[in-house]
Chain A
């Protein structure tokens, strides 16, 4: 039997939404782009950021919807921000 998946709930519709993850280990370290994840909403994005990027006990971590990023050096490129 195939798994029954509510595409809207778990995938957020047909087009994937991406979020960029930023974190720093200590107050002396710059906030750094550490990765990117796909999630249908901010709440799941938060959970997935914790799940995937738990290799450090981060001092600070935040996520930004990729759609909010305005590229400068990459203006015109297909990729707004590199995955890592």
Chain B
């Protein structure tokens, strides 16, 4: 399927919860939150990302795989065995759930990179670059195999169905995480492809996204210049790759990554003081091809952060709230109130203004 690439536009609901103290919660709350926005999905895609779920394997790369056939599983496993030490290999636990039909083979692996394989890379972040490469290779050259997530101590659980059904199917009530993000999808087409659901993940980045990225064409070509292959039938993957490129590879501070993706208008830049003007002008000059244009709101998470961002003219909704150590971001306030009726603070996000929740220093996760 991923070989015959055609992008499917879709609308959506998103929701995210984070405990900045690293306190872990089971998946019940996030399922209830996303279920409340049932009307925003159409049953053709739902998914979750969870951080902190594999404390016993927290230094392993947890690969969540979607296979279309035993053959693709064999091919992918041959590739994994060649490059990684597979410390555990098991089916992702699921339960029979009405509304979830024809699931593909869902498997997970806890991996360490074979030290010998790493030698080809000479850089400090080489293990991560190695994993990125492995993910790109599997997604693009092993037919019927798709990496749903590849980070440490995190995982993505997604598929075709309403998100609440997907959540129950994957038994998310049995996992505990300090960040949960979720997505209900309203694609305008029926690819029936589990890999096409959100979140999109690469390393510990996960993205859930509402809207369509009208600049996808150039974002994709920009990322290809840096070796990222965008072949997954959706515009959302570019968000994950842009965070990986700008923050992990190029070390651009997170807030500025967000502002490269949804930059201030020139008229606002022109009013800034000299140093700021120089900085934002350079950001637009250099990262213009990475700018995300069109309507979007997304929640990006990594092991330390949960980040909400809207497009520059606020064409998609997002409400944020705080209650004690919990930070919420969702397409609708009611999705937050559903799981936390009393909130310390609630506000609607501004266009292009990143909302960044960070794990407290010393939080044990």
> Is the pairing of A and B real?
no
- Which residues of B pack against A, CB within 8 Å? none
Interface of A with B (CB < 8 Å)?
Answer: none
